[in-house]
Amino acid sequence: MKTFRPQPGFVVQAYRYALDPNAAQEQALCSHCGAARAAYNWAVGWVTASWWQRRAEETYGVCEEELTEWRPWSLPSLRKAFNETKHTDPGFAGWWAENSKEAYSTGLANASAAFDNYAKSKNGKRKGARMGAPRFKAKRKARLSCRFTTGTIRVEQDGRHVTLPRLGTLRTHEPALKLLTRVQAGTARILSATVRHERGRWLVSFQVEVKRDLERVARPNVAVGIDLGVKTLAVMADSTGEVRTVPNPGHYDRARGQLRRASRIVSRRQGPDRRTGRKPSKRWEKANTALGKVHHRVANLREDALHKLTTAVAAEYGTVVAEDLNVAGMLKNRRLARRIADAGFGEIRRQLDYKTGQRHATRLVVANRWYPSSKTCSGCGAVKAKLLLHVRTYECDACHLVIDRDHNAALNLAALAAAAVTGTGVAGDQGTTQAVSKPRGADQKTRATRPRRKAEAGRAGGAALPHQRQTEARDRTQAEALTLW
């Protein structure tokens, strides 16, 4: 699979449109996506066959030099092996010529990437959760998707049709004039197109290399701090002292009634059963489609709201300060997981990252995860040792400031922008060895609450325990309270 690197002044972005194919075109789309799945399964079986063969030979005492050779899983190797066997393989002979070669290339490329990820994860070279070996894709569960990188890929002159290899001209559900105008002006070049079926609708996504100049923001000398929350989606405080509140739309909560009724209807229909091989009834398929439409509408509303918020922020302020939240850890809270997922904290951060760097002349400052934005007083800088989540009003013990908790956190984040440039020595400065003097509760230190540990510390004459010394060493090495992107 080719990797496109944009030229200076160019960015790679996607233009996605819904399709309105007729019956014959929809059948061709399903055939191409099925061919991609079949090629993926062939590649997985072809590579893993050598693994099982070697394992069987080892049980018979075959020496290492005489074992079956490992089959490579690079994309050129898979393509070469597939082209040699597609004419005689019973799974492809007789029908492989009905689809574009790009369909099979899509499956082979996905299989190659899956094996690469598995190997890197097993060797410890890939971040994230441990990945297992690639498995076969089931027809009833696999996502219908196919990518085209060569051939005729264009938007027609009327802006209401797109042309793809072997599929011909397909009508779009909405005009594609924005992409067509850029292509005609010479400021965009289509690199590839991917068709996908999601919740009852076919979509086409164009990967486009676009010439984009940075746009000047409305208030270049103003910095804003954004504090995300559940009750209120975002509280924005800028360096001029202005505070704005963005309410949480709660799209999922508002649609829970519809989802409950639609799910009840689905549960009362005869659905599929793997144990008995029972196929779903027509009424179950119809009810399940209606349930998917409700979920799709909620996802679209959430995406639209987040895009409008991040676009407005990136286009107005010269510096944006956001938090590096541990969203995966926050989702483990069973009382707030649904609302945190509905708010989309990670999506807001992702959109701000590319919109500030590729579209506007905006600087993005990401506060460190351990920076105590809520515990720090925005008036005098004092830090509370502990601030429970249900306490929504911040009361400073030093200067007696009383302010809303989220407003206080947003003001502290906005102050980080000036601290990062001037280096005033407050929390968030680059190059400082200690963020701010804080008693406890605002860093990574864990408190020993079990009586046994307290007794051991007492018997040791007040000496620090080994785990306490390790924690203190970690605290000393945490030099910066923010990261500049």
Same domain, 15 and 63: no
Is residue 474 in some structural domain? no
Q: Which of 211, 237, 258 is the last residue of a domain?
A: 211
**Residue 274, domain member (yes or no):** no
CA distance 52 to 461: 61
- Same domain for 334 and 372, yes or no, is yes
Answer whether residue 35 is part of any domain. yes
In order along its 485 residues, the chain shows pLDDT tens digits of 444 454 557 888 899 999 999 999 999 999 999 999 999 999 999 999 999 999 999 888 888 888 889 999 999 999 999 999 998 888 888 888 999 999 999 999 999 999 999 999 999 999 888 899 999 999 888 999 999 999 999 999 999 999 999 999 999 999 999 999 999 999 999 999 999 998 788 999 999 999 888 888 888 889 999 999 988 999 999 888 888 999 999 999 999 999 999 999 999 999 999 889 899 999 999 999 899 999 999 999 999 999 999 999 999 999 999 988 889 889 998 889 999 999 999 999 999 998 988 888 888 999 888 888 888 888 888 888 888 888 888 888 888 888 888 888 898 888 887 766 544 333 333 333 223 333 334 444 444 444 444 444 444 444 444 444 444 443 433 333 323 33
Identify whether 434 is part of a domain: yes
**CA atoms of 6 and 13, how far apart (whole Å):** 10
Q: In 10 A of CB 484, how many CB atoms?
A: 10
Instruction: Clarify whether residues 362 and 406 are in a common domain.
Output: yes
User: Which of 211, 230, 262 is at the close of a domain?
Assistant: 211
Residue 406 lies in a domain: yes
Same domain, 355 and 343: yes
Residue 136 domain-assigned (yes or no): no
Two tokens at 289?
A: 């489609």
Nearest one of 39, 30, 143, 147 to 91, comparing CA atoms: 39
pLDDT at residue 260, rounded to an integer: 96
Considering the domain architecture, whether residues 198 and 231 belong to the same structural domain is answered as no
Residue 129 domain-assigned (yes or no): no
Domain span at 36? 24-122
Domain annotation covers residue 42: yes
Which residues, in sequence order, are bridge partners of residue 164?
A: 168
pLDDT at 22: 95
Examine the residue annotation and report whether 227 is marked as an active-site residue of this protein.
yes
Q: What is the CATH number of the domain that holds 307?
A: 3.30.420
352 and 428 fall within a common domain: yes
Q: What's residue 30's pLDDT?
A: 95
**Which of 163, 195, 211 delimits the end of a domain?**
211
> What is the C-alpha to C-alpha distance for residues 158 and 137, in angstroms, rounded to an integer?
38
Tell me, yes or no, whether 157 and 229 share the same domain: no
Smallest Cα–Cα separation from 89: which of 169, 161, 27, 35?
35
Same domain? 16 vs 34: no
Given the residues 238, 323, 342, 429, the one annotated as active site: 323
Q: Report the C-alpha gap between 351 and 181 in whole angstroms.
A: 24
Q: Catalytic annotation on 406? A: yes
Q: Could you say which of 209, 227, 316, 429 is catalytic?
A: 227
| pLDDT for 189 | 94
* pLDDT in the model for residue 420: 60
Among 102, 238, 342, 406, which one carries the catalytic annotation?
Answer: 406
Are 194 and 341 part of one and the same domain? no
Query: Are 229 and 364 part of one and the same domain?
Result: yes
The answer to whether the CB of 172 falls within 8 A of the CB of 201 is no
The verdict on 356 and 308 lying in the same domain is yes
**Same domain, yes or no: 207 and 71:** no
Radius of gyration of the chain (CA): 28
pLDDT for residue 8: 57
Count: domains in the chain = 3
pTM confidence score = 0.75
What integer pLDDT is reported at residue 7 of this predicted model? Answer: 58
CB 375 within 8 A of CB 442: yes
